[in-house]
């Protein structure tokens, strides 16, 4: 993928800790492009900021892929101010019609616990009409996930995707999925990681079994999970990870 086509939107993980996934993308950018400035980065403080940032990125020429990293809980993600950004708000922001869709995102990867399953994927991948702009793929986790483990998988995902410039977005994401299946089969299964694309009126998971799901989606699906765990595999009661926790 050419330089500057990835945008990273991150929420603050802990009030008194400054760890961030930004260093991961600095490394990927440096390895891929020769400097640490080959991607767009922003932090999101609240729901209003999320809607403004994502809508603007969708209208930014050249940005084709989006990574959203935050604490995941059953109904959405946590903003830096600690408030919930509801899944319905997230999905509407990513799928609503815009006057200018210059950016035309190809795909979105959610780095958050319990965020994505086939119902949510179908909602995100829907098109308003034949030939209208829309996402080609979405990726994310359906389970509670460890910060370090998931960071390793996310790093591998983006390294594969960003360094593949041949063909369409769908062709690249299929090759990315094949490499994950081949080289990280246990990791994606253990963490419930999946990449979905549209197919035959539904969505198809590229990692699990390739089955096409056609169940309806309303964007309100719920899961009984909370934030990503720390390095010891533990979460606290309110869904905020502790110590080395990420999502």
Please say if the pLDDT value at position 237 is more than 60: no
Nearest Cα neighbor of 206 from 195, 192, 193 is 195
Please say if the pLDDT value at position 164 is more than 70: yes
Helix 147-162, helix 22-33: angle, nearest 10:
30
**Which pLDDT tens digit goes with each residue over 57-105?**
999 989 999 999 999 988 899 999 989 999 999 999 999 887 665 558 9
**Which pLDDT tens digit goes with each residue over 100-139?**
655 589 999 999 998 999 999 998 998 655 556 689 999 9
Contact between 117 and 223 (Cβ < 8 Å): yes
Please state which of the ranges 6-10, 68-72, 132-136, 169-173 shows the lowest mean pLDDT: 132-136
Mean pLDDT over all residues of the chain?
A: 82
Please say if the pLDDT value at position 35 is more than 90: yes
Helix 87-95, helix 47-58: angle, nearest 10:
20
The predicted pLDDT at position 58 comes to: 92
Contact between 138 and 110 (Cβ < 8 Å): yes
Contacts 24+ apart (CB under 8 A), 212-217: 213/118, 213/121, 213/122, 214/122, 215/118, 215/119, 215/122, 216/119, 216/122, 217/118, 217/119, 217/120, 217/121, 217/122, 217/123, 217/126
Computed from CA positions of residues 143, 178, 4, 125, in that sequence, does the dihedral angle turn out positive or negative? Answer: negative
Kind plus residue range of the DSSP H or E element containing 165: none
Q: Output 240 or 128, whichever has higher pLDDT.
A: 128
Nearest Cα neighbor of 217 from 140, 135, 141, 123 is 123
Nearest Cα neighbor of 229 from 154, 148, 117 is 148
> Is 200 exposed, middle or buried (CB count within 10 Å of its CB: 0-12, 13-18, 19+)?
exposed
Classify 188 in phi/psi space as left (phi over 0), alpha (psi -120 to 50) or beta. Answer: alpha
Mind listing the domains of the chain with CATH numbers? 6-213 (3.40.50)
Q: Would the pTM count as exceeding 0.85?
A: no
Q: Region 34-43: what's the mean pLDDT?
A: 95
Please state which of the ranges 34-48, 142-156, 180-194, 209-223 shows the lowest mean pLDDT: 209-223
């Amino acid at each position: 993928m050419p330089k500057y086509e990835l945008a990273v939107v991150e929420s603050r993980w802990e009030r008194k800790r400054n760890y961030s996934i930004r260093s991961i993308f600095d490394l990927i950018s440096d390895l891929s492009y020769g400097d640490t400035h080959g991607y767009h980065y922003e932090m999101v403080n609240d729901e209003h900021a999320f809607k403004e940032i994502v809508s603007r990125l969708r209208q930014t020429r050249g940005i084709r892929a989006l990574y959203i990293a935050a604490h995941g809980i059953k109904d959405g993600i946590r903003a830096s101010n600690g408030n919930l950004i509801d899944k319905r708000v997230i999905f509407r922001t990513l799928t609503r019609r815009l006057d200018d869709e210059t950016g035309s995102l190809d795909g979105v990867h959610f780095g958050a616990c319990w965020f994505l399953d086939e119902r949510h994927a179908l909602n995100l991948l829907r098109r308003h009409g034949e030939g209208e702009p829309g996402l080609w793929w979405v990726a994310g986790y359906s389970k509670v996930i460890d910060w370090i483990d998931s960071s390793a998988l996310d790093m591998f995902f983006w390294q594969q995707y960003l360094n593949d410039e041949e063909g369409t977005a769908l062709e690249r994401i299929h090759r990315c999925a094949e490499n994950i299946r081949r080289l990280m089969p246990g990791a994606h299964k253990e963490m419930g990681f999946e990449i979905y694309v549209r197919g035959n009126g539904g969505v198809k998971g590229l990692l699990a079994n390739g089955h096409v799901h056609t169940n309806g989606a309303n964007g309100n699906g719920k899961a009984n999970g909370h934030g990503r765990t720390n390095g010891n595999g533990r979460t606290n009661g309110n869904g905020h990870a502790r110590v080395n926790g990420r999502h």
